[in-house]
Structure 1
């Protein structure tokens, strides 16, 4: 009986040897396929990264109103030879935000070959004029003397504000106006007197003049459209917005 049992064990092991060899062969094949797949993927990545298909094909810029798109693209340092995976985002951000009219920016990849730049500009509240050149005035009263630009007609000229403290005050007041009222102003001039250093004159696009006080004129100017609606547009004059509001017709000479 023992001889027969041992014989069966020998036969059983001999039967399993081919199966074990087959399983090992399959494992070896699977391992080879895995390594070959990784190898070809790496080769494909290298070829892709060295090909024009990994370069930036399009740069989109949004959020800008004043700064030209081409100027922002140039500041980014990105062109059609830039690899989309090698973007120098920090450098681009630093250079673009270094522009005097740009407050902040973001930059994102949009595969396969697009870079999206979004900027937020500082708000221009008016312009000053010097020797035929126009300089933007920001909401904090700073004048960008290093960035002359063409007059766009959507903001007033700010004239005679020779003291920075008063320039900051007028910038703050203008910034508090509704957009539709701000666009009605052609010029605002500081006209201080001995008794009233806050006196200003506003020359409106509709031909009227507004005599106001610097400190609170934004609150009163919000009512300008409704005030003018009650006047005869053919009779030009001065709208006084001091203690009270009244209209003074300009006498024709």
Structure 2
């Protein structure tokens, strides 16, 4: 067997010193990194770098960006860490049109506001002004407009708030593609049917229907129109059954009824 080499402590001392020096250097670098990191944070917090420079608002259609920001204490130039996200979210959500608001810091200097509005299902007219109708049946009195856009129908004659709310619930469940086809909805209650409505469509047709189950009944409208001659216009009756009645036929039926009445006299 070969002899084992014995290394004396004197021979190992340089190696031990070198390892201790490396450990000390690594420890020093670690502490210096933490020190400079903390210094950087302090400089950032005390400098204009931490001031709000941009405020981005997303998801709003009824309320302008500046009005949403005005609901909060957020302002450009304010320290981003002094902004309370929860307080700002609550302040924005207090607006009757807004269902939910989320406020987030986007470092180093941006604030992002994401809005979820209540569904906008129509407009109503009071005097010479128009007001949006929300999916929860509310009509914000502070949001008057001079004109209406074509994104939702104008509701006319809904003097009873209960029927208006019922109508908005149905409109909320209607696909947006169909909602945008409706120009006006007239409430025309009768003794037999308090929920009777007449719709004037943007494509020239008239729809005779009822508030109850309106969303479900109206879902067949595109299918009915696709089967009609584009040149023919008339009334589409929706309800328990759906059928089309041309204007000429409707006028003839009306003339026949008047003639019968005269003969009876």
TM-score range normalised by the length of the shorter chain: 0.7 to 0.9
CA distance in 2, matches of 1:243, 1:79: 56
Look up the match of 1:126.
122
Contact kept, 8 Å, 2:210 with 2:239, in 1: the verdict is yes
Look up the match of 2:46.
50
Moved over 4 A (4+): 40-47
Q: CA deviation at 1:235?
A: 2.2
CA distance in 1, matches of 2:43, 2:175: 56
Alignment partner for residue 244 of structure 1, among 234, 241, 246?
A: 241
Unaligned runs of 5+ in 2: 1-23, 253-265
CA distance in 1, matches of 2:243, 2:204: 16
CA distance in 2, matches of 1:248, 1:111: 62
Give CA-to-partner distance per residue, 1:144-189, whole Å, 9 cap, x none: 1222235221100111111111011111111121111111111111
Look up the match of 1:16.
none
Look up the match of 1:17.
none
Give CA-to-partner distance per residue, 1:169-226, whole Å, 9 cap, x none: 1111111211111111111111011211111101100111111121122212101111
Residue 136 (structure 1) aligned with residue 118 (structure 2): no
After the TM superposition, which residues 212-231 of structure 1 pair with which residues of structure 2 at under 5 Å, given as runs? 212-231=209-228
Residue 62 (structure 1) aligned with residue 51 (structure 2): no
Look up the match of 1:203.
200
CA distance in 2, matches of 1:99, 1:77: 15
2:76 partner SS: coil
How many residues are paired up? 223
Return the TM-score normalized by structure 1. 0.79
Contact kept, 8 Å, 2:156 with 2:184, in 1: the verdict is yes
Residue 235 (structure 1) aligned with residue 232 (structure 2): yes
Look up the match of 1:13.
none
Q: CA deviation at 1:42?
A: 6.5
